Structure 1
Amino acid sequence: MENISDNKKDRNSKLPIVPKQYRVHFIMLISCFVLWGLLNNMTDNLVPAFGRIFMLEAANASMTQVAFYGSYAVLALPAAILIKKYSYRTGVLVGLGLYIIGAMGYIPAAMLQNFNLFLLSVFVLAGGLSILETTCNPYVISLGDEETSVRRLNLAQAFNPIGSLSGIILAKYLILSHLNPATYEDRIAMSPEALSQIRSNELLWVCVPYVGLVIIAIVIWMFFKRSKDSEKDMSGDLNILDSIKKLIKIPRYAFGVIAQFFYVGVQISVWTWTIQYVMTTVGLNEADAAQYYLIAIVLFIACRWICTALMKYIEPALMMAVFAVGGILASLGTIYLPTSQSVWCLVTISACMSLMFPTIYGIALKDLGEEVKVGAAGLIMAILGGAVITPIMGRFIDNGILSSMTPMFNGAEAAVRSSFLIPIICFSIVLIYSLCFRSKKSV
């Protein structure tokens, strides 16, 4: 048994992560991973931006995340139907097309200074990204040997946070730095004309990065439009209900969807409220507080690359269990340690999250065969966790529901610190999943 295991390990180490014939498609798919990573993190920064521009409470501003991640849940299953009937290439084309339409919708929303129209544009834009993620993740898995699928997906996903880092930089210098410093009370006291003029300038800068990225999306769209499909079988059985019934009977997959729901919930919640936490505890403005968010994403990127390399030698599920424990400990530090230490615990949470999304994804989809397309949709629908858990955490911040947990702190600081009980619960679910499927036979 030991010799068989050693031989299998040697074979896996010699297999190319991406075979030569698929490398051009793999590189172009990576550009999609970068694009949605960039847009995800710019949207995180829209929450404090819209909160200031439209004078909204934290929970109301987080409706941006509800529209964004709610769209992910709604469009994922139609995306599965699309790629089962046609191809992964078709899914990429439709996803990019919806992104372009949604991004262009920012222009009339800014001109009318209408928050609800922004939410509609965010919903359409995110629908395109939902189709892209539903398509691109299993597309990457299909581009090579099954034995290297988790490593291949982690490699592709390693470029996603590069987009996230770019999104934070764009948000910081193109959106947050152009917010007028006027407070809620200042804006209430302004005349309608003066307030409208300030909002007009702020919303212009909200539009600039989203509309500018349309050019890049068009270039990627043209490549896939002109390329040939790389899949051997371009269509499949469209009986989605039968596929769902089969999938929910597979514990590794069904629990994987639940784990992904809570993982995405913790990722989006932590990143959405990082700026708010730093503003409240350290006393910085949005643009300066974003520096900590930037450091968190750099750490996230570094750890994902390191983890991808280590997966050649260490079981992915075991690594994820260790990182889940780290996330729990870092969240406790964020709640209870003095500010000089707690803000770095907050940053460390991102390091602990680095390998979770692609690892859960790869473990849950392994050996699903043709059902991988519907299975991918279920895991993308689990991104709904971002839309559910983020506003719950926002309510805790607004209302101080858990403030009694932190009697050593007062007011808004107690509220924002105690809200990090939510990440502890989410990391615990991921830990249980990791331990349940830690054996190589399970994954």
Structure 2
Amino acid sequence: MDGKLSSSVGNKQETTPIVPKKYIVHFVMLVSCFVLWGLLNNMTDNLVPAFGRIFMLEAADASLTQVAFYGSYAVLALPAAILIKKYSYRTGVLVGLGLYIVGAMGYIPAAISQNFNLFLASVFVLAGGLSILETTCNPYVISLGAPETSVRRLNLAQAFNPLGSLTGIIMAKYLILSNLNPATYEERIAMSPEALSTIRSNELLWVCVPYVGLVVIALIIWVFFKKSKDSEKDTSGEINIVSSIKKLVKIPRYAFGVVAQFFYVGVQISVWTWTISYVMTNLGLDEASASGYYLIAIISFIVCRWICTALMKYIDPSVMMAIFAVGGIVFSLGTIYLPTNQSVWCLVAISACMSLMFPTIYGIALKDLGEEVKVGAAGLIMAILGGAVITPIMGKMIDTGILSSIVPAFTGAQAAVRSSFLIPVICFAVVLVYSLCFRTKKEA
């Protein structure tokens, strides 16, 4: 008998393919969705400063773009769970891509009319599509193979997500931000309505280009799943959201997983949001130069996720996450207390520590949920709101310098931005506790 077939249960994960051959094409198309929403997430972040300049908005008004984006995630995650529970994962992908296409095409009339509120509506619809895609695709990937390789399979799919993020950063920089007119607020105020309208028209054209261009890719994926008949009807049972939620909150692995995901997403978005400000403040660089450190951080995130995905064949994912959470705490403290040159590289290293956390928390929390996995997936996607809650808290700390006294070696803006990284310390601590509480026990 083949030695692989007679291997022990403990070695089963080593011989079981991460993605069975019959699911390879579906897996690749789902990975394309992971890349798409990663790209759009990071590209949309740059719409805040872009809209601020184009429409001459104050920071609070420009940030309504993020409110529309994350608000849509919160509103549509649960309806997405109902949709895929009643029908199928395939239906969820089709609806999610469809909403993205509608939202992206909405940028065209918004640009023609130069209407910020119409852009916000389009962002809401577009983000709703991404929310449905995330709620659908993560458990869909988990279902494409053996349960014992589910976390590795999800990490593999998620490994392509930051490639999309990096692409989104580059596209935003060269297609959107580089095509903004350098005219200041005061100079725009002094312009005639006709001249200002001409400038806005060109700027909004370049805002539309990447979003509308990506519709072609979304349509290709949509057509594939439309023609695919592998999952016409889901047989997971009747829909009872209230009953499902009651069951889920009684499962510690899941309930704590939602909390951990909230804090993880909060730390990811917060750290990435304030990386450039930290570098500018501590190294005295301009925004363009400081963004180089942000790109290095994203690249380290990508590389470490790929390495971690490979190592999960030999090391339990929850153990790896605990190690990286400890690393996140240590590097966050380094960002607060170490001298400038070392502290900036600690800031970059934080991104490396975050690399495996989202898909690992996701996989651990959804393990063995059975028919409740889809409602459970919605809860984990709704936890993305952590980014909208924790990021402004960290920003408020930077603005007020309320904890500057914990960094006596620095003063002013440096002390304020450094002390704000106490928030990531707390967030990583929550992830550490979760990973230790729900380590996978090896079978005998």
TM-score, normalization by structure 1: 0.91
Q: Give the 3-state SS of the residue equivalent to 2:238 in structure 1.
A: coil
Aligned to 1:431: 432
Alpha-carbon distance, 1:188 to partner: 5.5
What is the identity, as a one-letter code, of the residue corresponding to 2:372? E
Moved more, 323-332 or 272-281: 272-281
Consecutive unaligned residues in structure 1, runs of 5 or more: 1-5
Change (3 A) 1:285 1:426: same
Aligned length: 437
Written as runs of structure 1 = structure 2, the 5 A alignment for 1:64-75 is 64-75=65-76
Asked if 1 retains the 8 angstrom alpha-carbon contact of 2:87 and 2:234, the reply is no
| CA displacement at 1:302 relative to structure 2 | 0.5
Supply the AA of the counterpart residue of 1:382. Answer: A
1:161 aligns with 2:152: no
Q: Which residue number in structure 1 is paired with residue 108 of structure 2?
A: 107
Aligned identity (percent) is 84
Task: Report the CA distance shift for 1:436/1:26 in structure 2 as closer, same or farther (over 3 A).
Answer: same
1:140-178 CA-to-partner distances (Å, cap 9, x unmatched) read 111111111111111111111111111111112112222
Q: Which residue of 2 aligns with 1:322?
A: 323
Distance 2:368 2:157 in 1: 19
* Amino acid corresponding to residue 253 of structure 2 in structure 1: R
- The worse-fitting range, judged by mean Cα deviation, of 293-302 and 53-62 is 53-62
After superposition, residues 68-107 of structure 1 pair within 5 angstroms as 68-107=69-108
- Structure 2 counterparts to residues 137-216 of structure 1, below 5 A: 137-184=138-185, 187=188, 194-216=195-217
Deviation at 1:397, TM superposition (A): 3.2
Q: Which amino acid aligns with 1:24?
A: V
Q: C-alpha distance in 1, partners of 2:214/2:407?
A: 43
| Residue 97 of structure 2 is aligned to residue 126 of structure 1 | no
Q: For the residues of structure 2 that align with 1:107 and 1:400, how far apart are their CA atoms?
A: 42
Instruction: Give the deviation of 1:21 after TM superposition.
Output: 1.1
Flag the 1:104–1:233 CA change in 2: closer, same or farther, 3 A.
closer
Superposition deviation, residue 387 in structure 1? 1.8
Alpha carbons of structure 1 residues 292 and 190: separation in structure 2 relative to 1, 3 Å:
farther
Q: In 1, Cα distance between the equivalents of 2:294 and 2:8?
A: 44
Asked if structure 1 preserves the Cα contact closer than 8 Å seen for 2:87 and 2:232, the reply is no
Aligned to 2:247: 246
Whole-angstrom distance in 2 between the partners of 1:291 and 1:35 = 23
Partner of 1:395: 396
Per-residue CA deviation, residues 219-243 of structure 1 (Å, 9 max, x unaligned), is 1101111111347844531111111
Please provide the CA RMSD for this pair.
Answer: 2.4
Matched, 1:10 2:11: yes
Aligned amino acid, residue 14 of structure 1:
T
Structure 2 gap ranges (5+): 1-6
Amino acid in the other structure paired with 2:224 = F
**2-side partners of 1:422 and 1:197: how far apart?**
44
| Distance in 1 of aligned mates of 2:135 and 2:340 | 39
Structure 2 equivalent of residue 422 of structure 1 = 423
Runs of 4+ in 1 over 6 A off after TM superposition: none
Structure 1: which amino acid aligns with 2:64? Answer: M
**Amino acid paired to 2:178:** S
Give CA deviations for 1:1-44 in whole Å, capped at 9, x if unaligned. xxxxx922311100011111111111110100110111111122
